[in-house]
Structures are given as structure tokens and as C-alpha cells.
Structure 1
Amino acid sequence: MIDSKLFIDKNHGLSIRKQCEILEINRSGLYYEPKGEPQQNLEIIEIMDRHILEEPTAGVLTMQSMLQDRGINAGYERVRRLMRLANIKPIYPRRHLTQWKRNDYIHPYLLRNLAITHSNQVWEIDITYIPMAKGFMYLTAIIDVYSRYIVGWGLSNSLDADSSLRVVKEAIRDHGKPMILNSDQGSQFTCKEYIDYLKDQQIQISMDGKGRALDNIYIERFWRTIKYQHIYLNPATSGVGLFTRIKKWIEKYHYRAHQGIDRTKPINRYKMAA
């Protein structure tokens, strides 16, 4: 568990209550000392997070070998636990697919050979690990595939489904509903609450095949961009500082020419074709 106090700036102009609301942290977490990850584990996570951007197929054994090459001895179970903690997922097909109870909520992939011609036709959602000077947080973001515009995002100190669903609800509130919302098969996106909400909104649900590299490629590329151009360069020291910096960076990103959409700006393409 991550110490929530690492994310709060008591000297910030915002009240602690408001900071907790922004960062989706329960205020009760400020009044006790949960056990945090040792600094060496945080360093290992950051190394693996960088590595997965360069070698997306790297699984536990590959990560373990890579760490050994760097002089870091970490056992298989330790590497696996830290990868799960940081939501670091390789994109190779697994030989044996575990039959989970939540399979009832897994949906087929709908984007293959689909012509994406306008905004709010297809959104992609994902969660990624964001390193900080001390500790880390999780960033959930939703990208409009046609325009590459970020229609919603949020920070949290947990991987619970409520945080992801909140980002979806806020994106729909601000931008309307997509026809299709694509995700991976993570527990946040295969829980009853998430699926029921999308069905109530009459949104088609699309999910990546296990380990397929291209199924959620646009949000994956966004992760690479924001991490290399911003997050890794100067890690934030507080959650509110991280929130403010990501907000400003995304605002600038929307007004930059994007190579993947013929050098147009995401905000212009989104509004033009909405």
C-alpha cells in the first residue's frame, strides 16, 4: 500500500480536503502510516516501466534477466509482484488463459478493419504507472482515436475500478458518449459496475485480445509520449504538483501538431469532426 501522505502538500494553497478530492484519495488515509514500498522496489519499478516502453513483449523472466544485467538481483515472485503493482503488462499472447469468474464481462474486439471517420466514434481507455520523487500514482486516460484528443483523465493511488469508472463518467459528461469504448481485459474494465454503466449508456464495449500489441495502440503511444517528454524528466514531489503538471502538459499536447493525424492539432481535429 502506498502512503497517501506522500501525495499531499500541506503548504499548498488548496485545502487538504480539496487535494484529496482531486487525487481521489480517502482522507482517512492521511491519519495512519500504511506500509510503503521500499525505495529499491520503487527504483526497480521505474526501470521496468521504462523498459516496457522499449520492449513491450517483456514478461517477468525478461524483466528479471534485464535487471540482473544491471546488477540487480530480484527473484521471480518479486518481479511479478512489482509488475502487477505498477500495472506493467507485456503484450505477448499467453499460452494458457486463466478462466476467471469475470469472463462473463469480457467482450470481443470490435475495431479490426473498422473505418474510424469521426470524433466520438471510438475511445480507448487505459491505466499506467506514474513515478514520483517518492512513491507513485496511477494515471487513467481516455483518448479519442480519430483525433488523438484526451477526452478524460484522472489520478489515483489505487487500481480500483471506481477510479476508472469516474474518469469515464466525467469524459461523457464533458464530451458526450462514444459509439465504442475499447480497453484491455484488466479487472477495472471487466467488473460488473463498469460493464453495466456502459450498457446503460448504450455504448458498445470492445476489449483487446490477450496480449495483442496493436489493439489499444493509440493510448499506448500516448503513454510513451507523456512519459518520455514529461514524467521522467522531472518527477513530481506531491500529488497535487503531479496533477497540475499533467493538466498543463495535456493542454499543450492538444494544441501541438500531431504526426499521426497529418500534422493537425488534436483539439482542432476533435472539434471539427465531432
Structure 2
Amino acid sequence: MKGEQSEPQLPLTRKCELLGVPRSSFYEQRIKASTMLSAADETLVFEIDRIYTKTPFYGSRRITAQLQREGYVVNRKHVQRLMRIMGIMGIAPGIMTSKPHPEHQVYPYLLKNLVVTRPNQVWSTDITYLPHAPGTMYMVAIIDWYSRKVLAYRCSNTMNADFCVAALEDAFREHGKPDIFNTDQGSQFTSDAFIAALKARDVAISMDGRGRAFDNIFIERFWRSLKYEWLYLHSFKDVFSMKASLANYIDFYNQRRLHEALGYQTPDEWHTSAPCGADFNLGLLSRSPAEMRPAASQPNACVNP
């Protein structure tokens, strides 16, 4: 059990898979090693596991609230004690990755009520912290708002602007340029080097309002997918294995992962079959997948040189 406690970042379901034991047996061994539980607490252990399996981002407060909603008479301190015995905790929010520089210019937000009709009309970017990576690791990604395709990404163990500029140059080289590029107000994206790369290509610069993650909603959704479908399900022996696994996930996300909002097509399919004149609002209108599906596949003539 000491080995399990030394790796709290590895999800419990994955640990049990690696050990080849059912999760219920794992709990039984932990409980026996820790203390004798009443029949009521044994029931609570399995109810906590059920809730945690569905919502691993729930901490003790919300698990307690959910149990109470379901009719269990329990307080938070009791739930915390059982969670410690079980060796689980809610997935904590990441560290702050967006810190403005007081001397850098901030640009207005250009995407409000914008109708996005084609690839390379709007790109956006963001940085996230990868908490389960070997050592400290940050990731920057650039996505196309029309197709949700990940156009470029880079990883770094520092938060300077260099790896963000490198990802931007990768995207330019592989995909042309967008009409509008949206970022948050983080110092990496307001840096001289990042802004100069955009201005050199006559790209309009848009920035989220402070504290308004919804302004960059599609990349926020991508981060959630990446973490829950990849990061939280794996452990990595070193940075090289992590980066190889990440590359595989990005390939899966772009080429094989079906998106309901794209009519159950992949980002690659949607990106390359886009009719240039389509009236498609990625902003925030509610449409069915059938209404949003391109009329027919055709070569992508929407790329900005």
C-alpha cells in the first residue's frame, strides 16, 4: 500500500488495472489495513466510489452534497475520513497559467456574435498545466474555431513565450494564417515576439476579457477532453513517453474522434470538407448536428496563404 500512496496522481482505476485486481478488492484491502468499518460505512465506501467514478473532479464537499441529495445522513468530515481510507481525492483545479504583464498592450475581443463560416477564419490558443506529467510541464495548443482541429501544439517546462511563438510558427507553416487570432491576456500572448508574429502576417488580434474563459470556449473544451480522455488515464515514466503518448492522442482527436457538434465527423473531416460560404455559427447558437453538417465533401479552398 505504500507504493499506492506514493503515486497519488495515478487514477485509482488505472492502478487497479495495472495490478490486475478489481477496485472493490483494492478497497477491501485498504479498509482492512486501516480500520474496521461498520456495515453503514462499507455501504458509503461503495457509494463514494460510484460518485467518484462518474465525477472524479468532485472533492469531499460535493460528494457529501450528492450523498445527502440521495438520502444519506452524512457530514463532510465523515466523507473525508472514508476518502482518506480509500486513497482518493478530487482532481484539483490547475495552477494559474494566464498572468497579464502590466506593460503589455491588451487588444479588444473581436468574436462576440461573430458567424464563423470556414476554416482559417478564427484560430485561438491557450496554455494548460499538465499535472500528471513527469516533472513540471505546460502545453500550448492552437485550434481552428470552425473545425476544432488542433493545428499545432508545443510542451515546455517553463512558462516563457518562446514555446508559444514556436507553436504559432508551426501553425503558420502547416496551415497558412487566420483572419483573427484569439488569446487570453496572458503575458506570453501579449509579448513582443508573439504579437510581432501575428502583425507580420496582418492577422487581426483578439483577446478574452479578464476572467472570461467562455470567450475562448472551444479550446477550454479541448483541454477538458485532453485531460479526461488522455492525461488522467495514463502514467508516464519520463518526458519522452509522455510526449509520444500525447502525439498519439492529438492524432486520435483530429483524425478519429467523432464530435457531436460537428455532425459526428472528425475535426479533420470537417476542416477539409468545409463549404466556404456555409452559414455556420460556432458561437453559440443551438443547432442540431444535421443542420451543421457540410452539404458535400470537397477540397478545402478556404485556406489563407
TM-score (norm 1): 0.65
Look up the match of 1:259. Answer: 260
Look up the match of 2:103. Answer: 101
- 1:83 positional shift: 8.1
1:87 and 2:88 matched: no
1:233 and 2:242 matched: no
- 1:43 positional shift: 6.7
Look up the match of 2:115. Answer: 115
Deviations 1:186-209 (A, max 9, x none): 000011111111111111100000
Q: Is the 8 A contact 2:122 2:179 kept in 1?
A: yes
> Which structure has the higher relative contact order (CA within 8 Å, separation 6+)?
1
C-alpha distance in 2 between matches for 1:152 and 1:134 = 22
Look up the match of 2:209. Answer: 209
Q: Which amino acid is 1:196 matched to?
A: A
1:108-187 correspondence to structure 2 within 5 Å: 108-132=108-132, 134-187=134-187
Look up the match of 1:271. Answer: 272
RMSD (Å), alpha carbons = 3.1
Task: Extract unaligned runs of 5+ from structure 1.
Answer: 1-38, 56-65, 72-81, 91-97
Q: Is the 8 A contact 2:125 2:140 kept in 1?
A: yes
C-alpha distance in 2 between matches for 1:89 and 1:166 = 18
- In the superposition, relative to structure 1, how do residues 147 and 54 fare at CA in structure 2: closer, same or farther (>3 Å)? farther
124-133 or 180-189, larger mean C-alpha shift = 124-133
Q: Which amino acid is 1:230 matched to?
A: W
C-alpha distance in 1 between matches for 2:98 and 2:257 = 29
Q: Is the 8 A contact 2:97 2:186 kept in 1?
A: no
- 1:99 positional shift: 8.4
Q: Who wins on radius of gyration, i.e. which is larger? A: 2
Paired residue secondary structure (2:172): helix
C-alpha distance in 1 between matches for 2:179 and 2:262 = 20
Paired residue secondary structure (1:155): strand
C-alpha distance in 2 between matches for 1:210 and 1:176 = 29
Aligned length: 197
Task: Extract unaligned runs of 5+ from structure 2.
Answer: 12-54, 60-75, 82-91, 275-301
- In the superposition, relative to structure 1, how do residues 111 and 177 fare at CA in structure 2: closer, same or farther (>3 Å)? same
* Identity, % of aligned positions: 39
- 1:271 positional shift: 1.3
- In the superposition, relative to structure 1, how do residues 196 and 54 fare at CA in structure 2: closer, same or farther (>3 Å)? farther
- In the superposition, relative to structure 1, how do residues 54 and 142 fare at CA in structure 2: closer, same or farther (>3 Å)? farther
Q: Which amino acid is 2:208 matched to?
A: D
